[in-house]
Amino acid sequence: MELLRFATAGSVDDGKSTLIGRLLYDSKQIFEDTLEALEHSTMLRGEEGMNLALLTDGLRAEREQGITIDVAYRYFATPRRKFIIADTPGHVQYTRNMVTGASTADLALILVDARKGIIEQSRRHAFLASLLGVPHLVLCVNKMDLVDYDQAVFERIKTEFRDFAAKLDVRDLQFVPMSALNGDNVVDRSANTPWYEGTSLLHHLEEVHIASDRNLIDCRFPVQYVIRPRDDKHHDYRGYAGQVASGSYKVGDDVVVLPSGFASRIASIDTADGPVEEAVPPMSVTIRLADDLDVSRGDMICRPNNQPNIAQDVDAMLCWFGERAALKPGGKYALKQTSKWTRALVKDLHYRLDVNTLHRNEDADSLSLNEIGRVTLRTTVPLFFDDYRRNRATGSFILVDEASNDTLAAGMIL
Amino acid sequence: MARGLTHDRKQTMHRLISHLDALESESIHLLREVAAEFERPVLLFSGGKDSVVMLHIAKKAFWPARLPFPVMHIDTGHNFPEVIEFRDSSVERLDVNLVVASVQASIDTGRVVEETGPRASRNRLQTTTLLDAVEQHGFDAVMGGARRDEEKARAKERFFSFRDEFGQWDPKNQRPEIWSLYNGRHRKGEHIRVFPLSNWTELDIWQYIADEEIELPSIYYAHRRNVFRRDSMLMAVTEFLRPGEGEEVFEATVRYRTVGDATCTAAVASTAASIADVIAEVAASRVTERGATRADDKFSEAAMEDRKREGYF
């Protein structure tokens, strides 16, 4: 059974909680005690029926204020796949939440209300999903029951969204007309939309092809940890542990270790279950080399004829999450990329991007909370990286405040 | 990882990775990040199924080397004997170092005061014992087997979760966690809780236990036991927990879905005697494991959140 991670975006008004509730309920992932507790707390709040939003609002402050503050993770499975939902709320901190949820997602669901069509928020969500390199996008046109399942409404929204998405980097875009409340096209295809020739949402989630979304070409293995047992049985054992970021590693492959540039050959690929012939993402393995080299955490094992960029100056799109201070040119931060920590200086802020209009403000001199812009950074040691579009694992980094240790920004290398 | 894959199957699978392989790889990556970035990590081990799975994966993450950190049991003193036996035999078999922090010792030294009354439990007292042990040993990373599917406050947890110098969790002010770039930086006296099993569900845990043939304490499987009904849950009669007035004792076939302090962990009526039976039961279950078995979560809507804020697991 394969694992699919998806992010959901949209506000409560779009019926997002209802949709998640339905997916969980129809796949029998909402349990009776959860339902009972839900009914009870809905009643205590003086509301009627069942407030499905309370399912995802796990914190006291969220229930008190009636808003979702933070990303919530939900799990369900069908016989075909296991799903992890990152439910990203749209009220406050929407950029931070959407970026967090989308960063590991294979697919993003964006909900729109059929009566309202594409609104500013829909465009913002689509842009963020594209910026974070989410390979598959599904626009759920919800509340079709309130527009009499009118095909013309659906087609109009579809055309409008497609025109906007053409400006973005979206590889796979699907549209589903639905009513989350009534269950139309959520789990099964609905008789109310005979003109719709696509599949139900759940069917799409089960079938969408994600295995080839992985980069199996560029071999990148960031060394995480060096395993040296130092006991009698494994006296000379020296293995480089890590998770394959991209590419396919085979026993016998010629490799080069960065930054030293020393060449060697893969002697074996070890796991606790025994050696394997080949390692691909996202496998966590231990690589042993034929030669005795000095390799440590933060180094990268690559192929001689396909190496990442190596540089101290990088251009990147930056999403700023710092609440106390804004990003300004001249700022210095701790930076983590793959398994390496270094320091970075912000040399230049080229522009700030308006996430609603995609307008570039080149006069901007800072990035505040939830703002996005293009920067040039200089690091204290060279980074081994690829364009984020080509490689999410080696093209991403975070910036951390050196005094407070807060995570301040997510960066995508251009 | 290549758990149980034969060479042939690997060829025909065209490099498809199963959900359990993906979850295991994610957990191994987290455990290795902890070993690489912290000076004094510790892994919490109670003998409960989640901590057994976590320890099993930790052993795999550093194979063939020994575990580069000790395991710690927060011992309430109110244990099921089968679980303590299992804890000790596991530590022996897996060749790991065990630290025991005792709630009884915290009571004896006056750090905490024992609750009284029929509903008295040492569950909440564990927090003080845990935080004292973290301070005493200078642990800077504490790995726990909590899962996001267990409870709604836990659904909001990070993999790397910051704790201040009082051990407190501030759920409204969590560090954003993007990609798998974990930020474990902290100042002296602060620490990070790490949850390598965050993305696993109860069913995943059981399927993995079956696949990997992991041994568990016997009380996870159906057995006969003297119980009584309290708050519509089945509580075992033990030396620490006696039935109150009007609570009738009877013998029943039960098993445990979670294993915690004997005074607040309930059994469920079950005839599931093997792993396969348990998987079938869990897959068909309509009640969450904490809802079915934990008296400690029944106090209020925010019981878990409140305990976690104070520094609970």
Looking at the structure, give the CATH architecture of the domain made up of residues B7-204+303-310. 3-Layer(aba) Sandwich (3.40)
Flag if B177 and A100 touch (Cβ within 8 Å): yes
Judge whether A251 is closer than 8 Å to chain B, CB to CB: no
pLDDT in tens, A84-102: 999 887 666 678 889 999 9
Contacts of A55 in chain B (CB under 8 A): 152
- pLDDT value of position A253: 97
Residue of B156, B200, B214, B268 to mutate, testing the A interface (most A Cβ within 10 Å of its Cβ): B156
Window 119-158 of B: residues touching A by CB (8 A cutoff) are: 148-149, 151-156
For position A12, what pLDDT does the model report? Answer: 63
Q: What is the CA radius of gyration of chain A?
A: 24
- Number of Cβ within 10 Å of residue A395's Cβ equals 25
Residue of B nearest to A242 (CA): B29
> What are the residue ranges spanned by the domains of chain A?
2-213, 221-302, 309-413
With a threshold of 0.85, tell me whether the complex ipTM lies above it.
yes
* C-alpha span between B194 and B210 (Å, rounded): 25
Interchain CB distance below 8 Å, B179 and A277: no
Across chain B, what does the average pLDDT equal? Answer: 88
CA distance B186 to chain A (A): 6
Q: Are A141 and A112 in contact (CB under 8 A)?
A: yes
**CATH class of the region A309-413:** mainly beta
Residue that the structure tokens 């960065």 belong to: A258
Q: pLDDT tens for residues B86-138?
A: 999 999 999 999 999 998 888 889 898 988 877 778 888 889 999 999 999 99
Which ranges in chain B are annotated with CATH 3.40.50.620?
A: 7-204+303-310
Chain B hits for A102, Cβ within 8 Å: none
- Please check whether residue B251 touches A, CB under 8 A: no
Percent of chain B with pLDDT over 70: 91
User: A232 with A278: CB under 8 angstroms?
Assistant: no
Shortest CB distance from A70 goes to which of B4, B174, B179?
B174
Q: Is the pLDDT of residue B17 over 60?
A: yes
- Beta strands at A136-142 and A172-177: parallel, antiparallel or unpaired: parallel
Nearest to A59 among B10, B36, B305 (CB): B305
- In the predicted model, is pLDDT for residue A218 greater than 60? yes
Q: What is the pLDDT of residue B132?
A: 94
Cβ atoms < 10 Å from Cβ of B227: 22
Which residues from A are below 8 Å from B155, CB to CB?
Answer: 56, 58, 72-74
User: Tokens 């999903």 belong to which residue?
Assistant: A129
Mean pLDDT, to the nearest integer, of A388-410? 97
Chain B residues with CB under 8 Å of A334 CB are 185
CB contact under 8 A, B204 and A82: yes
| Beta strand A107-113 pairing with A2-9 | parallel
Non-local (6+) Cβ contacts of A229 within 8 A are: A237, B64, B65, B66
Q: What is the per-residue pLDDT for B138?
A: 96
| pLDDT tens track for B225-235 | 999 998 888 99
Shortest CA gap B199–chain A (Å): 8
Express each pLDDT in B248-302 by its tens digit: 999 999 999 888 887 888 899 999 999 999 988 888 777 777 776 666 655 556 7
Residues on chain A touching B172 (C-beta within 8 angstroms):
59, 61, 69-70
Q: Give the contacts of A36 (CB within 8 A, at least 6 positions apart).
A: none
Please give the Cα distance from A171 to A159 (Å, whole number). 17
Spell out the CATH class of A2-213. alpha beta
Tell me whether A70 touches chain B (CB under 8 Å).
yes
Q: Taken in order A226, A229, A233, A235, is the CA torsion positive or negative?
A: positive
CATH of span A221-302: 2.40.30.10
Within 383-412 of A, beta carbons closer than 8 Å to B belong to: 392-393, 396-398, 400, 405-407, 410
Q: Do domains A2-213 and A309-413 have the same CATH topology?
A: no
The pTM assigned to this predicted structure is 0.93
Sheet holding A239-243, edge to edge: A221-222, A300-302, A254-258, A262-270, A284-289, A239-243, A225-227
Q: Name which of A99, A228, A273 is nearest B3 (Cβ-Cβ).
A: A273
pLDDT for B281: 86
Which carries the bigger pLDDT value, residue A43 or residue B24?
A: B24
Alpha-carbon distance of B91 to B73, in angstroms, equals 11
CB contact under 8 A, B285 and A31: yes
Residues of A in contact with B175 (CB under 8 A): 406-407
